[in-house]
Amino acid sequence: MKTLIAAFLMLLLAGIPTPAPAQAPGEIAAIPKECAGPGATEVQDPYLPNVAAALRDRKKIVILAIGSTSATTRGPVRGGYYAIVERILEKAFKPLDVVIIHRGVSGELAADAAGRIKTEIALTKADLVLWQVGTADALAHVPIYEFRNTVTAQIRWLKEHKVDVILVGLRYAASLANDPNYVGLRNIIADIARDEKVIRLRRYDAEQALSKLNRDTTEGFDFAQNSEASSICTAEYIARAIAAGLFIKKAPARPGAPPGPPAN
Amino acid sequence: MKREANAIDFWRGFALITIFINHIPGIVFDKFTSKNFSLSDSAELFVFLAGWSLRLIVGRDDNPKPMPQIASRLGGRALTLYAAHMMIGMIAIAILASASILLDNPLLLEWHNAAAVFFDPVNTHIGMALLSHQLGYFDILPLYVALMIFAPLVAAIDRCLPRLLLPVSIAIYLTALCVPITIPTWPTEGQWFFNPLCWQLVFVLGFVMARPSGIGGFVRRHIRPIRWLALPIVIGGALMVIYDVYPDPLTMPEPKLLFIVGKTFVTPIRLIQFLALVAVFSVAYGYIRKLAAPLVEPISMLGRNSLEVFCVGSILSLLGQVARFQTGGGYGIDTALVAAGVAIMFLTAWLAEGPERLKAPAASRTAA
């Protein structure tokens, strides 16, 4: 597993220093195969108009990362895996300046985060909110209707104020795979993303696939390693979702169109 | 000798029970605590009463205690608070680690900002010792430590230039709001949940209001009209919370923090509502003594031993969260959790007063 992560990190980091990588501007290298979980990204409307406007007008996008899931990576990486998102985007869209402001608190409920999002948006003037949502609420058994109302109201407020949103869904834990409350909340997040037409990153699915891969290929299984690997993959998905959101033109919705990854 | 029950200890005890309940997210009783009817919550009350207690340490105007004695006592208090914070932080981490193993759920390692402790332990342990990494719900003691470190300065300004204390405090507060200035966390990027540059004003207000002269004296002399002025603010605040009507931060003019509601910066709207609440409820203690006398002494006992009770209450809240996670909560479980938790908090306070109780009969025998 260590080898796998090391190889993966090298793959990610190798292209950062000059000389410039062999990829066209606005194009991100293929997603690492470890992260190629089935349907990791669910897209109802990939276009991120406010991020695109920020790129066009300012060559700078400000992203507010908030929510309940840790962004910590092992080692001295300031900004956790969001730093990886910054690197991927800045490398792909030179001379784009990507600023990710991390205001997430691991374990924070959606209702508490929602209260802070408005203030943080006002202070940071962010163009996009990356909201890791649901895990803490599921663990605290927050009533599902309350959760739905909270998240929906917040997404609508953000849209009204010209701020794009990407939801990052629940984390995976084998012991919760059949927990009705956990499964219920997962489904609600999917419903919210579909109803409100926002991008949802299915971290649960990606982490589950990664977990299976690791169990199959390594003798020992370490949650910290798996969590870090899934965090790095999440960074890859986020970067791709944003990249896709920048360039896909808004088109009329096609009824019954199947969801699919926004990039690759 | 044990203090008689009084309003300060009573309200501090009340705040401790409220904090215990509020720190179990999702629990049904959370809906009945003051935060559901008030823009401010028990955190303001706790910090305000800490400032009020500082007045007792400083001494009366006609019989002030020597400054070295005050500084020594406050420094000792800061150390005690720091040690208590470290202790409960380590216990919390152990609880999360144990729960994740016993319940086969590694996600519990990420509760309450604990993820960095497990995934980046080298940096995070340094951060915990420096108070730059704080666990969620375990973040008010660092504020207390900071306030106690600066409390000798507060006492010194009050002694030498009493009229300057509140303006200086307000100036720091407004600067922190207008710039805005935050205290960053490390290694996890973020900011202190309780911004000490803003919360110091709540502390200083408690200290200033406790003084029989000056502003404190003015408020005491005019408390009746002040209560009538405060009542609409309290009602308005309650309506804002109940109907979820808050100023939209993006439509507010700059500097936005002056006009919005936020706990981290204890913004003016929240602070004014809190002061109004204090004015209105300052009349309540006398009635509570008359109408619910049996409650006054036990709740005051919690307040007299606030640090011990707060520490135990924080740990109990975390255990309550784990229990709710495992059981799913509900009225029965939640009632049992609150009943058991409050009972253990009372037991803690009772045990903490054990030495005083033992001294009292010995003193009586000596006197006889």
Query: What crossing angle do the helices spanning B223-242 and B214-221 adopt, rounded to 10°?
Result: 90
CB contact under 8 A, A78 and B112: no
- Residue B189, chain A, CB below 8 Å: the answer is yes
Distance of CA A134 to the CA centre of its chain: 13
Instruction: Pick the residue from chain B with its C-alpha nearest to A150.
Output: B244
Dist. CA A101–CA A114, nearest whole Å: 16
Instruction: Pick the residue from chain B with its C-alpha nearest to A107.
Output: B111
**In whole numbers, what is the pLDDT of chain B averaged over residues?**
93
Domains of chain A in start order, with CATH, are: 36-247 (3.40.50.1110)
**A241 vs chain B: nearest CA distance in angstroms?**
23
Q: Which residues in chain A have Cβ-Cβ distances shorter than 8 Å to B26?
A: 109, 137, 140-143
Q: Which residues in chain B have Cβ-Cβ distances shorter than 8 Å to A71?
A: 188
pLDDT at A13: 33
Choose the mutation target among B103, B107, B240 for the interface with A, i.e. most A CBs under 10 Å: B107
CB contact under 8 A, B189 and A79: yes
Dist. CA A261–CA A187, nearest whole Å: 19
Q: Which residues in chain A have Cβ-Cβ distances shorter than 8 Å to B132?
A: none
In the numeric block, which tokens belong to residue B104?
């086969």
Q: Which long-range contacts (CB under 8 A, 24 or more apart) does B29-37 make?
A: B29/B334, B29/B335, B29/B338, B35/B241, B36/B241, B36/B242, B37/B238, B37/B241, B37/B242
Residues linked to residue B214 through DSSP beta bridges, in sequence order: none
Counts of helices then strands in chain A (DSSP H, E)? 9, 6
**A244 vs chain B: nearest CA distance in angstroms?**
27
At A215, which amino acid appears?
A: R
Q: Which among B119, B191, B260 is the nearest to A72, CB-wise?
A: B119
Higher pLDDT: A10 or A65? It is: A65
Task: Give the pLDDT band (50/70/90) at residue B173.
Answer: very high
**A74 vs chain B: nearest CA distance in angstroms?**
5
Kindly report the three-state secondary structure assignment for every residue of A182-245.
HHHHHHHHHHHHHHHCCEEECHHHHHHHHHHHHHHHCCCCCHHHHHHHHHHHHHHHHHHHHHHH
> pLDDT tens for residues B240-258?
999 989 999 999 999 999 9
Q: Which residues of B166-203 are buried (b: 16+ CB within 10 A; e: fewer)?
A: beebeebbbebbeebebbebebbbbbbbbbbbbbbbbb
Choice among A7-16, A129-138, A174-183, B70-79 with the minimum mean pLDDT: A7-16
Closest CA to B268 of B11, B51, B35, B40: B40
Percent of chain B scoring above 90 in pLDDT: 80
β A164-168/A199-201 pair status:
parallel
Task: Give the pLDDT band (50/70/90) at residue A258.
Answer: very low
pLDDT at A39 over 60: no
β A128-132/A164-168 pair status:
parallel
Dist. CA B185–CA B177, nearest whole Å: 18
pLDDT at A73: 56
CB contact under 8 A, B119 and A227: yes
Q: Which helix (H) or strand (E) holds A90?
A: helix A82-92
> pLDDT tens for residues B281-298?
999 999 999 999 899 999
pLDDT at B110: 85
Closest CA to A142 of A186, A178, A181: A181
Choose the mutation target among A77, A123, A222 for the interface with B, i.e. most B CBs under 10 Å: A123
Q: Which among B26, B180, B190 is the nearest to A102, CB-wise?
A: B190
Task: Give the pLDDT band (50/70/90) at residue B4.
Answer: confident
Q: Which residues in chain B have Cβ-Cβ distances shorter than 8 Å to A149?
A: none
**B265 vs chain A: nearest CA distance in angstroms?**
10
Choice among A29-33, A227-231, B133-137 with the minimum mean pLDDT: A29-33
β B59-60/B63-64 pair status:
antiparallel
Average of per-residue pLDDT across A242-249:
72
In the numeric block, which tokens belong to residue A137?
């609420």
Q: What distances in angstroms separate CA B351 from CA A96, A259, B12, B298, B357, one per listed residue? A: 62, 61, 18, 13, 10
Choice among A12-21, A177-186, B12-21, B230-239 with the minimum mean pLDDT: A12-21
Q: Which helix (H) or strand (E) holds A165?
A: strand A164-168
> pLDDT tens for residues A72-88?
555 545 556 778 888 88
**B208 vs chain A: nearest CA distance in angstroms?**
30
Q: ∠B316-B320-B322 over CA atoms, to 5°? A: 120
Task: Give the pLDDT band (50/70/90) at residue B12.
Answer: very high
In the numeric block, which tokens belong to residue A138?
């599921």
- The DSSP code for B60 is E
Q: Which residues in chain A have Cβ-Cβ distances shorter than 8 Å to B43?
A: none
Instruction: Pick the residue from chain B with its C-alpha nearest to A177.
Output: B105
Higher pLDDT: B269 or B188? It is: B269
pLDDT at A218: 55
N-to-C CA span, chain A: 25
Non-local (6+) Cβ contacts of A64 within 8 A are A100, A101, A103, A117, A120, A121, A124, A126, A128, A129, A130
pLDDT at A254 over 50: no
- Residue A64, chain B, CB below 8 Å: the answer is no
pLDDT at B338 over 60: yes
Percent of chain A scoring above 70 in pLDDT: 67
Q: Which long-range contacts (CB under 8 A, 24 or more apart) does A218-226 make?
A: A218/A1, A218/A4, A220/A1, A221/A1, A222/A1, A223/B106, A223/B109, A224/A74, A224/B118, A224/B119, A225/A1, A225/A2, A225/A5, A226/A1
Average of per-residue pLDDT across A34-41:
62
pLDDT at A38: 57
In the numeric block, which tokens belong to residue B17?
């029970």
Average of per-residue pLDDT across A178-203:
91
Start-end of H helices in B121-222 = 121-129, 140-160, 162-178, 196-209, 214-221
- Residue B37, chain A, CB below 8 Å: the answer is no
Q: Which among A171, A176, A224 is the nearest to B119, CB-wise?
A: A224
- Residue A177, chain B, CB below 8 Å: the answer is no
Stated pTM of the model? 0.85
pLDDT at A213: 73
B232: exposed, middle or buried (Cβ count in 10 Å: 0-12, 13-18, 19+): exposed
Task: Give the pLDDT band (50/70/90) at residue A16.
Answer: very low
- Residue A181, chain B, CB below 8 Å: the answer is yes
pLDDT at B188 over 90: no
Give the number of other Cβ atoms within 10 Å of residue A143's Cβ: 13
N-to-C CA span, chain B: 17
> pLDDT tens for residues B303-325?
999 999 999 999 999 999 999 99
**A19 vs chain B: nearest CA distance in angstroms?**
30
Spatial strand order in the sheet of A97-102: A41-42, A199-201, A164-168, A128-132, A60-67, A97-102
Closest CA to B42 of B131, B176, B137: B137
> pLDDT tens for residues B152-169?
999 999 999 999 999 999
> pLDDT tens for residues A142-167?
889 999 999 999 999 999 999 999 99
pLDDT at B94: 97
Higher pLDDT: A71 or A151? It is: A151
CB contact under 8 A, B25 and A223: no
CB contact under 8 A, B110 and A69: yes
pLDDT at A107: 73
Dist. CA A230–CA A171, nearest whole Å: 9
Choice among A19-23, A153-157, A244-248 with the minimum mean pLDDT: A19-23
pLDDT at A15: 32
Task: Give the pLDDT band (50/70/90) at residue A183.
Answer: very high
Interface of A with B in 221-260 (CB under 8 A): 223-224, 227-228
Task: Give the pLDDT band (50/70/90) at residue B119.
Answer: confident
**B249 vs chain A: nearest CA distance in angstroms?**
6
Q: What SS3 class is residue A125?
A: coil
Choice among A20-29, A96-105, A138-147 with the minimum mean pLDDT: A20-29
pLDDT at A18: 33
Dist. CA A76–CA A90, nearest whole Å: 20
Cis check for the bond before B187: say yes or no (omega within 30 of 0).
yes
Interface of A with B in 127-156 (CB under 8 A): 135-137, 139-143
